[in-house]
Structures are given as C-alpha cells and as structure tokens.
Structure 1
C-alpha cells in the first residue's frame, strides 16, 4: 500500500475538521450580516425621505407643495470633490422607477449614471419620491409635477446649450416618454434604460412575465390589493413578481453566495439589500392605471392612451432624440419590450423621418435587468459613452440608428478625437433589424387583445359585486398589519435586533473574526458543498423552465381559443382598437409642405452649410456617424463664427441632411456656389472637411469616389472665389486659368444636374 493511500483517512479527517470549523464560522458571520441587514432596513425605513444615492444633494422643489400635490421631489446633486462642472453644458436629469423600491438606483455608486454625467462636466438633477403617496394623486398628476421640475431645471441653466438630457430608468422610462409626448418642448435627448414600453411583445419560450396578467384573469387582483390596502397598493407585491422570475436566485443563490463568500461579500450584499428592501406604496388608482393602460392594455405603445382631458398621448409627438438601452439577458425588460413600440408606431424608417424623430438603440449581450443601472462595467462603458456623446445624439439626423461601442485601439491615429476608452459609432438601421430580435405575430397580438377585453369584464364584475362591500371593511389598521406581514418584510423582522436570539451574534461574530480559519478551496468537503449548491440551482432552474412552459402553453390554449375571443367581442372591426394608428392625412399634408419648403432652400446658405452638406454626402454610403467625426464637426462649428449655437447647428445639420436625402444631385451641385459666397470662410470650411475625411476613413468604394468628387468641387469653388476676389481688386479681365476653372465648375454642375 502506498503512503498516500495509507494517509487518506487522516487527510479526510483533517479536511472534515477544517471544513466544519469554517462552516460554523461562516454561519455565525452570515447571521450577523443578516442582523446588520435588518438594522439597516429599520433605519432606512424610519427616514422621512429614504434613498440610496451615494451623492450629496439639496432639495429644489417639493411636489407636495404644487397645486396638484404628489409625493415626488426634485433635488440637485452636488458634484463630488475634484469635479468641475461646465454650466454651458446641458444638465442631466435622472428619474428613478417607482416600481416597488425606493429611489436612488441611478446614483447608487460613484460609477453610475449620475457619476458619468459628472465626469463629462454636466450639472445633475434627480427626481425621486417619498414612500407614501399623496391621497388622490394620479399618474397624470405625477407627469404634471415632472413637467414643473423640468421647467425649473431649464430656468436654472439659461446659458446651457440645449434642454436637459433626461434618463428614465425601468418603469420611469414609460413615464418620461408619456410626458415627452405631451410636452416635447421641455426635453433634450431622452435615455430610457431597461424600460418596458411594448408590454405585449416577446418571444415564444421566453419572457414569461408578459403572460401574468392573462393567467390571473386581468387587473381585478390589482383592484383587490388596493382595496385591502385601504386605497394603497403595496410595492412589495411588485418586487415579489420580480423575484418569482428567478426562483434559483431568490430561494438559493443570493443567500448562498453570501454564505460561501461572507468574508468579502457582506458590504456589497448589504448595500444592495438596503435598496431592494426599501418598499414604497402607490395609490390604488395609480396602480390600476399602470395595470389597465400599460401592463395589460398596452395603450402607450400603440397610441391609444389619452389624458383625463382627452388629449391623446402619441409617442410620435416626441421631437427629442430617444436612446433606448436594453439587454438580451434582461428577463424583466427584454429587447422586444424595450424596442417593440418602434414597430407598433412605424411601418418604415421613412415614417420615423416623416415625424422628424431620431431613435437610437443599444443592446447589451449579457447584463441582467438590475445591472443596467448598478453595474460598474456598464457605467464605465455604455453610460459613459452616452453622457460624453450626448450632443452627438442630439444632432443626429432623423432616422433609426444602433449605437455600437468598441474598445479604442492603441494604434488608432485619431485617438485624440475619442473621449474615454471606447469609440461609439451610430450605424443606420432599418425596422428589419428590430424585427430580428423577435416579436409577436398577429395571432399573438389577438391573444393579448383578448386578455385586455377579459380584464375589463372581470374588473367590471369585481367592482359591481365585490368592491362595494369590501371597501368599508378594509381599515387602515388592517392594511398596515397586512403590509407588515408580507413575506418580503417578515424576512427582515426575523433577524432584527428586537429578537433576543439575534443580539448574541454581535459579540459572537467579533470572536469569530478574531479566530477566522477559512478552509482551502481544495478541501474535498468544500468542493462537495459547491456541487450540492450547483445541483440545487440546476433543480430550481429546471422547475422555473417547466413552470414557464406550462404557463405559456396555458396562456396560448386559453386565449387562443376562437370561442373565448368571440365571447369577449373580438373579430372584424373589433380588432381595430388594438392596431397602431396610421399617419393622419393632416400630418402627411404638413410633411409634403415641409419637403417643398426644404427643396426651395437647396441653394441657400454659405460655406458652413456647404461643408455640412458635403460631409453628409460623403458619409451616407457608410451609414454611420462616430464621435471622431462629431468632434471635428465641433471644431467646424467653432470656426463657423460666433453665435452658432448648438441648437442652430442642429437645425442646419438636419436641414442639410434632408436636402441630400430628398434631392441628392441638386444638393451636391449647389455646393460650389454656396462656398464661393464667403471666400475666407470657405477656405476654413474646406480645411475642416479635409480633417473630417482624414479622421474617419471611408469604408466603401462609393464613399471613396464621393470624397474625390467633393474634394474636386471644393477646390474649384475655392479657386474661383480667390480669383473672383483678385479680379475685383485689380479690375482685370479673367485670366485663362480662371476661365478654365470656371469651365470645370460649370461642367461639374451640369453633370450633377
């Protein structure tokens, strides 16, 4: 028998002793972390305005003082030490979701949406909320309050170039879009991160949350929860829905990761749980609106939502650029729900342009829903690029683009034109690129329309036969007791210092830390623990998959039934209410008038307009705009003279884009004449265009041919302008060279015409 074979019983015994000492110590430390979590929960809940912002802030406006009071507030975020703000830059306003948790996730850590905006030199504001709603407040009241907040921010920055950039996180995304459709003049670029707007859309075999409303029989349960809550809806139920999506994480992985790595995991765990456990309340009417109009009715996405005054909420009214950020790994807001509204409202990219809209989307491959807001790597890459290039987003011509972010190459000669560690490029896309992510077919939409009809019926039955006798029985004391007994709150109470047995873990944990003996990862019992954990997680994942498949099959069986669809009134003209609204005749006539007006301006403008037109013409074959080219355009804007504001630059840039798009040949042929109007400025513009060409090399043969064409036209135009100045100055007839140059220019113009 070998020595190693003979010693294995001793080695096994040593591993067992080491593992069980470590396991006991980890158990004590974990229970102490749970005790600390409960203490933080109690301290956080006792605050008047609990939040998890890591930045200092000061109150600017309190929504409770408005004519239609709400529990929302506007605060100014104070820049941390070492940050210098540029008051000429547009402010950023971050709006957090009221989806069960408290506010602050947008500034949860230094590397966050607020942090990267500060890094780019922008002033920052935050719209948050208090845990208790104002009695009687509605979603419409909240929108009115947020409009007042934005007006205040705009007034506080009179020298800023452009209106505020507004970030709507998760559920705040649809709230921001709703307000922007009603008050488009208040907004600069809009960033909606992880925001579900098209609630029906998804893929078969995925996105099980969208089936929940149908499987529960509609929104009557939201009304029941509101009535039992004495007119308030407990946000803890929304959090429960999120947790039910991933039982492996909820029931096992989250706590096991703390137990297995308690020496280093505790700070991150406590920080996150402080936000995750900060449950807030909504008025029952607010939750009913969200459930009926958005979750089940899907009315915002399809243009069928209206205010209490009958004003339609049409997302096509938004004039600011919209940047949609989502992830393929997000099981709460998958790309189909984040982007599906584009397919609901438009039949082509030309439709988007007709409404003068600019839509940009960025799709992450692996990050989960919460990572979109709290991940440091996402903040350093995506959010940093969005913040540092927000002016580029603002001046993009109307259309559909994808933001493609790639690491900066050390060998790149134009690195001085790239801010940060990444290069962002906006590539032109079509609606087929959105469809490629998957979505509904007409049969799916019909099933969800059936859910909406059945929900209205069930809600009507509940309000007629149950609500009248239930409401008088539901007291505030009973509602408060039910909230305290919610399972998500009980887990904090169980480990509270108020319980005698938990108080002992404070001093026990201190003793354990002094004598800590972590087991090596090669310990056979540690490895067995890991295998058991993996098996539990696999089992729970298998349960989740089987449950989701059952739910999906049940949904399609029930709501795909022609009999049920006929009973609820779907069929023929009944389907029209669930189809997107077409372009109105009045809007089409307005567009035709606008196009005719633009065509009349084909020869108007001077060298700066000619330079922009030339650059647009050059880059159209590549179908992309990146930050290097935009930084050259910034220099061109500065060289164009004082008083050329960002808004003016945006207007001219978009007008030149439309001219090239509508009548390319005439637009290009007019470039030499426009340059010749101001010879000195023309030379500077020609140099700027050459820098642009050098900064962003052409990718296609067509683009290279256009470069040669534009260079020839610009050179001839500048030469003609120079000789025209000399001719006027010396009163001499044109030279042979001048005559030949003019012949070339006229020939070039004739070719284009």
Structure 2
C-alpha cells in the first residue's frame, strides 16, 4: 500500500500532488505494459499463422477425414475431439458435430474453452466431432463442394457409430449455419437435430433503427466490389475484409473500448485479451468465386429462404426438405445476425403451423435477451445454459411432434419440486407451441422494405455486369500473384500485428523494460481521483463514438430508404407493379403435394392398427394436446420407464411412433380415440392397469393438468378400464409436485407401456 493510500485510510486529507505522482507513475507503467501486450499479440499472430493447421480449440483432436483428398477437394477437415480426463463418453449416445464459420477468422471458436458447445456435448456423454478448415482454399473450391464435403464427413461419423441411438446432432455457428442447412436440404438422411446459432438465413429481414448492417450491400451498389476485391487478390478474397466489416459495426468498441479495457486492467486482462485475439487475428482466405456466390445468392440476392438455389446436379435447395428438428438460437443483442434474419426464413417458407406440419418439420427457436453475436458461441454463461440444455435434451427435441415451438428455460429453483430427479440440468426446458404470427412479431416483415432490397438485387446485377464487361479484364491483367500477396500483407487488419511484434526493431527494448516494470509495479490506488477522472474521460469518449456510430447508421438507413424506395428507381429496374410481390414465395412441387396426400391416406388407414404401445402413446398425446407445451420431465420419465423395462426401442423408432400418433390425432382426432379399444383388444386387465398407472405417472410428471386435460384423462381412464380418483389429480395440480408419489411400477416383469 502506498503512503498516500495509508494516509487516506487513517483519515488524513489526501495530497493532490502525491495522487498526481502516483497516477503518473502508474499511467507510464500501464503504457509500457500495454505496448508489450500488443507486441505479444503480434508475436502470437505470427506463430499462429505459421502453424500447419492453425486453430484455437482447447481440446485435443485427431484427424478423421481430410477434405483435400475428396473427389472435389476442399480445405475442410473432420476431427474427433478427445474427451478430457475424467469425461465418460457413452458410445450409444448420438454424436455431436460442431461446424465453425469460415467468415474471416480461423476455426475453433466452438471449442474455444471448456464451457463451450463442444465442452457441454462432451459433459453430456456424447462423442464429439469438429469440422474445421485451413487458411487457404483449394483451387477451384466452391460452396457446393463444401456442402458435398460436409455430407461426406457426416457419412463417416455415422459409419463410426453404428450403435448410436440416432443420427448425428449438428451445430452450425454463424455462416456455418446456413452452410449446414443447405447441406441438410440436399442430404436430409444424414442429419439428426440441427442447431443453428447466430446463423443468418433471411438476409433482407430486420427492424428499422436497429439492424444497419443489412443496408451495406445497397449503399455499395451491390456485389461488384466483392468481384473487385477478388480480382485484386488474384482470384482470392481476403477474409480480413469481413473482419473489418464486423468491426465497423461498433466503432466505440473497435477504436476505444476494447483497447482501453486492456489498458485500464493491464495487470489482470492480458491473458484473456491475448486468447481472444489469437482467434480474432487468425484471418483466412476464400476463393473469389466462393465469396461471389455468397454475396450474390445470399447476402444481396436472399435466394435461400425462397428455394431459388439449384445445385449443379439440378437439386433444388429447399429448406422444407429438411426432416430433422431445427433449433434456431439467436439474440436480441446480436447486431450481425439479429433475430429477424435468424427466423425470417420461417415466415418466408410457411403460411402457418399446419404448413410446417404438412412437411413433417419440427422447428424450435430460442431468443436470448442481450448476448452479442460472438457471445452466442463464446460466452461461458450461454454454454452453461442454452447450449448445455440443448445438448442434455437433444433426444427430447428429436421426438417432438412436427410443429413450431419456443424453448423456454426456467431455473431449477423456480420449476417446482423435482424429487424424482427428472430435470437434467440447471434449468427446466419446456417447448411451448407457437404460431407463425408469433414469429412474425419478431421478424416484422415489411413489404415496402422487401421491394427496396429487391431493387438492390437488380441494381447489383447491373453493376456487376458492367464491372465484368468494362473493368474486370483490365484489373485481372494488372494484378499478379505477388502483388496480390503484398496487398494482403498491407491490409490494416494484418499491419497492426506486424507493426507491434518482434519484427519491428524499434521494439527491441520493450520486452525487458516491461518485465522490469512487472517485477516492481506501482499501481495507483483505486480511489485516486486521477484514475476516476481517467475512467470518466474514457466513458465520454466511448459515448461520443457510440453517438457518432448511431448518427452514421441513421444517415445510412435514411439514405437507403430514400434511394431504393424511389418509385422511379424501382420502375427502372422492373419493380413498378405494386400488385406483384418483388419476391415470389416458393410453390409446392406436385410430388410434395402427392406425398402429403399419400401420407394422410396412409395414416388414416393405420388408425386402427397397432397394439397397447400405440394406444399408450396416442392417449398420452391426446391428454397433453390442450396444454400446447412439452416438458422435459415427462420425456425423462418416459426414458426411465423404458430403461426399467429393458425396452429395445431406439430414439428413431420412438420418434416415428410419436409422430405417427400425433398426426393421426391431428387429422382425425375422434376416429383415433374411438380406435383405442381396438388397439387394447386382448390385453389382460392387469397390463391395462399397469399401463394406465404409468400413463398417469407420466402425465403428472410436470405437476400440472388443466381442466380440459383432466376431462381427457377421465375419458382415457374409462377406455383403459380403470378410474383413478380425481382427488389425486387435483392434489398434484395444487402442489405442483413431481411424480415421486405417483403409483409406482410393480417390480415384476414389465413388458411395455412405453
């Protein structure tokens, strides 16, 4: 403790000159230490980029498949994550596959630390794999080639886990999310549940005053600058440009906040800062044609959500063909992929929930209130909550009936008693049925805005055509490979690492000086008024930069709306007819309509087919339908009953059973319930009693049953031939207790009610 601080503690008046001296010494020391951390950052950058396979995974991994050896080679690879010591992996659990975005940075952010997407999957006992990539693309590599490689990787994972209880669960972060969704639309047979985190799928969506990034393409005149950047790179697009675009969204943090936070906390913040910068500075490259496809077809053209993309094999990329549950995780605090862009594809593709059900799809969404874009994959708090619950309940999600749901997470302490231990994690997960209108309230679709973005798309095509005709030949002729490489090295995102590193001879004395300061550090006391004044100045600078950023965004938005909302411009590009939507919603293929009709006929024909198992599941769904929510406690009880009975039904088989019975109730409820006695014909009374007891135990696992649910339970009881006292049901509702006191299963041979 300094003499000044000691004097203050003893009640003596502060000496402003002593405070100034303490602050000045501390400030100079922090300046040297700050510069030394930047030097370490530069050295770390050079070491990282010199690695054969640069990544930031904090887990050991072994190569399983090399995309460079495929028929259409790509710079992607599949690795198996080695579980940390003490982590037990269940070979019968479905594997998890985590795919990172190739959006300017290198791979590994999905496993950046122990509390991560990979970490929670391993702790839940799942085998885990990771899809990463090298810094340089393979010659001629395309987006479609990457899709085929991802399909090949999943085939390999399925081959390695023949005993797994379900297809692989796949996590796609940011741009890997739309890449995974495109692959799943072409090869739906390879996928289990799909989790897309912070992934943009509807690129025109957004709210005015909140999501300025969507205007960028229009203000630059479309994608011709993407083509120019690719030509200046001699056929290579530099991912550093994407990183710079991200940084421009938040000038206060980019130009001041991040650096000042390091400077102010230089004694404690250095390692965290260096750890993140290792990933942030690991820039990767894309082929020019890859980036052009992404800009034209997705960012500007927005063709994914309306099934307008067709592969070279003439396969239409229609997201409605995905048969696996889709979990969409997004955040209101994400300024790169806001909720409208993460969820807008749902309102683009489907008229209502019945339309979703007709395609046999299950869609779950979860909207975080505040976390930023990177926090969706990096934040430990998010990993320990949302990602942990998704991993723990992945089989539950897989058996949800077709429809649209919102994942609602309630802390265990607020979920009521759980004496039977049916809540898997720290939160109770419920999947609440939602309508398309619920999603529209988040997406807020605006037909006039859509017409503006359609005008951007057409202007982009015109400008790109003009560039390719009149400028591209000259640019390509002037730029050589060495010149392109030199320009990449001079990019501001790379130059800052070069200037502050041991490659700079002017910093030769910095390391020794910084080490001496660390050995004899003189930090100013926290109560030093000059430290407080410094913090206040920093807050004012950050506020000014935030205000400037908001002013810029408002001017960009107003300019965009005025330019592309002009009736003259819209008429000039063929959008003058206000009665014609600028973007047609995808129609139904005759094959799809025929499939749906055949499926309905098949389900109707099988309503009276089956046995006690089908009757039990049908009765369970019938009783719970009015509640419009699925609770993890009921599913975990079902799983426990199956284990107690030694049942051999896989998750996939149970999923098919649940879906069939749900759809039968949906299309012909009265007929389906009337057929229950037929399904129970020949079943001994003792087995009916036991099945009914387990049905009640499962129904009351959540502790809640409304009046309509009680009426339906009574109807099912009469069909099964046993009446359970109504007082028991009402008592369970009043106490919200779990199933601990429910009628126990008899310990003798228990064949199946599950």
Q: Distance in 2 between matches of 1:91 and 1:475?
A: 46
Pick one of 681, 701, 710 that aligns with 1:704.
710
- Indicate how the Cα distance of structure 1 residues 415 and 291 shifts in structure 2: closer, same or farther if over 3 A, else same: farther
Structure 1: 4+ residue segments shifted above 6 A: none
Aligned counterpart, 2:732: none
**CA offsets, 1:301-323, max 9 Å, x none?**
11111112332110000000000
Aligned counterpart, 1:751: none
Aligned counterpart, 2:729: none
Alignment pair present for 1:668 and 2:673: yes
Aligned counterpart, 1:724: none
Alignment pair present for 1:634 and 2:636: no
- Indicate how the Cα distance of structure 1 residues 71 and 413 shifts in structure 2: closer, same or farther if over 3 A, else same: closer
Q: Distance in 2 between matches of 1:707 and 1:146?
A: 47
Post-superposition shift, 1:646?
1.4
Alignment pair present for 1:57 and 2:58: no
- Indicate how the Cα distance of structure 1 residues 93 and 367 shifts in structure 2: closer, same or farther if over 3 A, else same: same
- Indicate how the Cα distance of structure 1 residues 684 and 639 shifts in structure 2: closer, same or farther if over 3 A, else same: farther
Q: Larger deviation: 676-685 or 255-264?
A: 676-685
Q: Distance in 1 between matches of 2:549 and 2:114?
A: 35
Alignment pair present for 1:527 and 2:535: no
Q: Larger deviation: 437-446 or 86-95?
A: 437-446
Q: Larger deviation: 162-171 or 640-649?
A: 640-649
Aligned counterpart, 1:623: 628
Aligned counterpart, 1:99: 103
- Indicate how the Cα distance of structure 1 residues 677 and 479 shifts in structure 2: closer, same or farther if over 3 A, else same: farther
Q: Give the secondary-structure state (helix, strand or coil) at the position aligned to 1:217.
A: coil
TM-score, length-normalised on structure 2?
A: 0.92
**CA offsets, 1:145-187, max 9 Å, x none?**
1111110110000001111000000000000000000000010
Alignment pair present for 1:408 and 2:412: yes
Aligned counterpart, 1:316: 320
Q: Distance in 2 between matches of 1:223 and 1:131?
A: 20
Alignment pair present for 1:356 and 2:372: no
- In 2, are the aligned partners of 1:395 and 1:650 still within 8 Å (CA)? yes
- Matching of residues 353-752 of structure 1 within 5 Å: 353-409=357-413, 412-414=417-419, 416-572=421-577, 578-638=583-643, 642-679=647-684, 681-716=687-722
Q: Distance in 2 between matches of 1:115 and 1:204?
A: 37
Post-superposition shift, 1:498?
1.6
Q: Which runs of 5+ in 1 are unaligned?
A: 719-753
**CA offsets, 1:502-538, max 9 Å, x none?**
2322122222122222222221111111110110111
Aligned counterpart, 1:165: 169
Aligned counterpart, 1:334: 338
Q: Which runs of 5+ in 2 are unaligned?
A: 1-6, 725-754
Q: Distance in 1 between matches of 2:235 and 2:430?
A: 49
Aligned counterpart, 1:222: 226
Q: Give the secondary-structure state (helix, strand or coil) at the position aligned to 2:363.
A: strand
- In 2, are the aligned partners of 1:637 and 1:649 still within 8 Å (CA)? no
Post-superposition shift, 1:712?
3.4
- Indicate how the Cα distance of structure 1 residues 295 and 575 shifts in structure 2: closer, same or farther if over 3 A, else same: farther
Pick one of 165, 182, 185 that aligns with 1:181.
185
Aligned counterpart, 2:142: 138
Q: Distance in 2 between matches of 1:577 and 1:66?
A: 40
Post-superposition shift, 1:638?
4.1
Aligned counterpart, 2:249: 245
Aligned counterpart, 1:16: 20
Q: Distance in 2 between matches of 1:10 and 1:163?
A: 69
Q: Distance in 2 between matches of 1:576 and 1:285?
A: 30
Q: Distance in 2 between matches of 1:684 and 1:163?
A: 33
- In 1, are the aligned partners of 2:567 and 2:576 still within 8 Å (CA)? no
**CA offsets, 1:125-147, max 9 Å, x none?**
11110000011111011111111
Aligned counterpart, 2:206: 202
Post-superposition shift, 1:698?
2.6
- In 2, are the aligned partners of 1:672 and 1:716 still within 8 Å (CA)? no
- In 1, are the aligned partners of 2:389 and 2:427 still within 8 Å (CA)? yes
- In 1, are the aligned partners of 2:692 and 2:722 still within 8 Å (CA)? no
TM-score, length-normalised on structure 1?
A: 0.92
Q: Larger deviation: 691-700 or 559-568?
A: 691-700
Aligned counterpart, 1:120: 124
Q: Give the secondary-structure state (helix, strand or coil) at the position aligned to 1:137.
A: coil
- In 1, are the aligned partners of 2:167 and 2:191 still within 8 Å (CA)? yes
Aligned counterpart, 1:722: none
Q: Distance in 2 between matches of 1:111 and 1:140?
A: 32
Post-superposition shift, 1:639?
5.9
Aligned counterpart, 1:283: 287
Q: Give the secondary-structure state (helix, strand or coil) at the position aligned to 1:163.
A: coil
Q: Distance in 1 between matches of 2:645 and 2:671?
A: 24
Q: Larger deviation: 631-640 or 530-539?
A: 631-640
Aligned counterpart, 2:740: none
- Indicate how the Cα distance of structure 1 residues 335 and 285 shifts in structure 2: closer, same or farther if over 3 A, else same: same
- Indicate how the Cα distance of structure 1 residues 329 and 549 shifts in structure 2: closer, same or farther if over 3 A, else same: same
Q: Distance in 2 between matches of 1:529 and 1:677?
A: 83
- In 2, are the aligned partners of 1:672 and 1:717 still within 8 Å (CA)? no
- In 1, are the aligned partners of 2:412 and 2:427 still within 8 Å (CA)? yes
Alignment pair present for 1:43 and 2:43: no
Post-superposition shift, 1:10?
5.4
Post-superposition shift, 1:211?
0.4
Q: Larger deviation: 411-420 or 134-143?
A: 411-420
Post-superposition shift, 1:577?
6.6
Aligned counterpart, 1:299: 303
Aligned counterpart, 1:736: none
- Indicate how the Cα distance of structure 1 residues 641 and 656 shifts in structure 2: closer, same or farther if over 3 A, else same: farther
- In 1, are the aligned partners of 2:167 and 2:192 still within 8 Å (CA)? yes
- In 1, are the aligned partners of 2:688 and 2:721 still within 8 Å (CA)? no
- Indicate how the Cα distance of structure 1 residues 190 and 10 shifts in structure 2: closer, same or farther if over 3 A, else same: closer
Q: Larger deviation: 685-694 or 157-166?
A: 685-694
Q: Distance in 2 between matches of 1:701 and 1:387?
A: 33
Q: Distance in 2 between matches of 1:686 and 1:204?
A: 54
Q: Distance in 2 between matches of 1:690 and 1:716?
A: 11
Q: Distance in 1 between matches of 2:579 and 2:295?
A: 22
